[in-house]
Amino acid sequence: MQVITQISRYVSILLVIGLLITGCKSPEERTQDFVESYNRGSNKLVNNVISSTSAYFISKDHIGLKFNTNLVVEREDKNLYLNVLPDLIANLLSTTPAAQQMIDDGITFNISFLDKNNATISKMRIDEQKLKELLTESKSKQDNSLKGTDLSSISDETKQMLNILNANLPYEDPNSGIKILRVSVVTPQELTYTVEVPLSLVPFIKGAEAQQVLKSNILNSENFRTVISGMEDLGLTHVRYLYTDPSGEILNQFKLTKEDLN
């Protein structure tokens, strides 16, 4: 959740900065100026998720954007990022006037995200036609993702992130069969992950001893440390994990806060 939000917030700032100085110049000059201004402001985007970012000139109508992150992406989790990141970028580009103008002017963005080990998480090439396709697909998924959910008590920024995340759920881990069903904010300051466990794993999820094992596994995850340390920006102070069996019966639940990392 925080990964998506921080990328969205700071990239939009840099895209605006990049357009301010392009003015009435030739296409090649405008593209080069955008790249230079983006890179001058790139240090503003460094945080606990993004370690560095840079833009580079490919041609007068192609710009590259590279994001190095602190994420550790396991092979079985990569598909989730491959689904979520294009939705994020499409929504971001379409709602940032600076970026939309560049695309309307015929600019293609070649965007890549790398993990902590410099391995590629996702690569995408977005021009005007691709942006339209992504937005159409994203809207269709979002229209069905949170039906019946009350989002009146949360910020627009959090609401957007919930829409994007849930549009790409449920997500099933191919090795264990565990599914992330949805991400929600049921009460203020609490982010809730609802997780479905296959019948074969139900005996290992029930009880206090199992709860301690689950907590320990999550707290030892580098990605959890990255997410929880920045959640205050969204007004969220703790994460609840709700485990159910395929019928919806609750097997275990607990919440974690930043203090649990100490």
Under a CB-based contact definition with an 8 Å cutoff, are residues 214 and 241 in contact? Answer: yes
CA dist 77 and 215 (Å) reads: 19
- pLDDT single digits (tens) 71-121: 877 776 677 777 778 877 887 777 776 677 788 889 999 999 998 889 898
Which segment of 6-10, 122-126, 249-253 scores lowest on mean pLDDT? 6-10
Q: Is the peptide bond before 27 cis (omega within 30 degrees of 0)?
A: no
pLDDT at residue 66 above 80? Answer: yes
- Per the structure block, which two tokens stand in for 151? 């989002």
Q: Tell me which residue of 186, 177, 202 sits closest to 236, measured CA to CA.
A: 186
- pLDDT single digits (tens) 158-171: 776 677 677 767 87
Q: Which numeric CATH code is attached to 171-261?
A: 3.30.300.250
- pLDDT single digits (tens) 241-262: 899 999 999 999 998 887 887 7
CA dist 116 and 205 (Å) reads: 31
Q: How confident is the model at residue 16 (pLDDT cuts 50, 70, 90)?
A: very low
The mean pLDDT of 56-68, rounded to a whole number, is 91
Q: Do domains 2-141 and 171-261 have the same CATH topology?
A: yes
- Per the structure block, which two tokens stand in for 206? 């029930």
135 vs 77: which has the higher pLDDT: 135
pLDDT at residue 58 above 90? Answer: yes
**Cβ count within 10 A of residue 227:** 22
Second CATH level (architecture) for the domain 2-141: 2-Layer Sandwich (3.30)
Average pLDDT of the chain is 77
- pLDDT single digits (tens) 187-208: 767 888 889 999 999 998 999 9
CA dist 130 and 134 (Å) reads: 6
Q: How confident is the model at residue 137 (pLDDT cuts 50, 70, 90)?
A: confident
The pLDDT assigned to 245 comes to 94
- Per the structure block, which two tokens stand in for 147? 């039906």
CA dist 38 and 106 (Å) reads: 18
**90, amino acid identity:** A
The pLDDT assigned to 127 comes to 92
Give the three-state DSSP class for 31.
helix
* Per-domain boundaries in the chain: 2-141, 171-261
